[in-house]
Amino acid sequence: MSQPKILVARAVFPEIIDRLSQHFDVESNQADASWSKADLIEHLKGKHGAFTTGGDRIDAEVLAACPDLKICANMAVGYNNFDIDAMTAAGVLATNAPDVLTETTADFGFALIMATARRLTESEHYLRAGQWTKWSFDMFAGSDIHGSTLGILGMGRIGQGIAKRGAHGFGMKVIYHNRSRLDAALEAECKARYVSKEELLKTADHVVLVLPYSAASHHTIGAAELAQMKPTATLVNIARGGIVDDAALAKALKNKVIAAAGLDVFEGEPKVHPDLLQVPNVVLTPHIASSTIPTRLAMAALAADNLIAFFAGKPPLTPLNAAVLARQ
């Protein structure tokens, strides 16, 4: 019996390719070529499974062109690249890679909070440009982290990790808003208090976005929300591009509506809104919140585990539309 055919759509660790090759007929994009949708369809035709990343869009058009496809395993916790409804209708299982990146991403989120509040990249650019000629009392004076109020929008595992770092490590007062309130034990563990979105925006010194992207969360932060924040406040987005209206944010930063922002994700990434590149009071990183070797390897291994389990007739570890399994 021939092995199932799978596509690995982006370059991944060679040891992951080697492991997959023990179970499948593998086509891999180890050259990491940037494929258009037409390219992706061409490579997916005849494949039974796909190992994808957050940039590989699987929608109704792709599914219609690739009727042999049975599963797409995302090497990411986010899955807004998947049209889950279309995949479910087509009988294609979707999986993601949660949990393994929680602590690493929370580390990075807190690093971005600190870099933004303390104006690290802005001051480094100043130094590198040879502009530092003397000390002054207000040189790149930022805002304190310790003892300040941390507001978290989206209190899943990563949000909880950031809350614990802030409350326990820096003595921050933590407030949060979520679709559903945490139970009392978790709130106590995080030292976090549930508030409305409006109260969070008006009260927090540092606002962090860790909510999943959906049509409902599109532009959760726009001009109106930025106007509710303190002029001394900072905003950090490690969630997904599109949750923030990047054009409105650039304008708010230019006009000092808020003090600064830190962004690891962007609308239409890898493109970045050009106005964000023109304002100094923003820290910009290229979607690297989970980027440590151990974590990225764990993410890739989980995606591989899902593919291997599925084709072995075993339950995948992290299905997103498990109803598909009942129909197969």
Query: Three-state secondary structure along 30-67?
Result: CCCCCCCHHHHHHHHCCCCEEEECCCCCECHHHHHHCC
Q: CA nearest 208: which of 174, 175, 241, 235?
A: 235
CA distance 243 to 261: 14
Structure tokens at 165: 């770092």
Active site residues: 240, 269, 287
Structure tokens at 135: 């000390």
CA distance 260 to 282: 6
Q: CA nearest 222: which of 210, 237, 238?
A: 237
CA distance 55 to 270: 9
DSSP state of 318: S
Residue carrying the six token digits 């299982």: 93
Q: How far is CA 13 from the centre of its chain?
A: 20
Amino acid at 88: T
DSSP characters for 8-33? Answer: E-S---HHHHHHHHTTSEEEE-TT--
Report residue 154: phi and psi, to 5°: 105, 105
**Residue 198 neighbours by CB distance under 10 Å:** 11
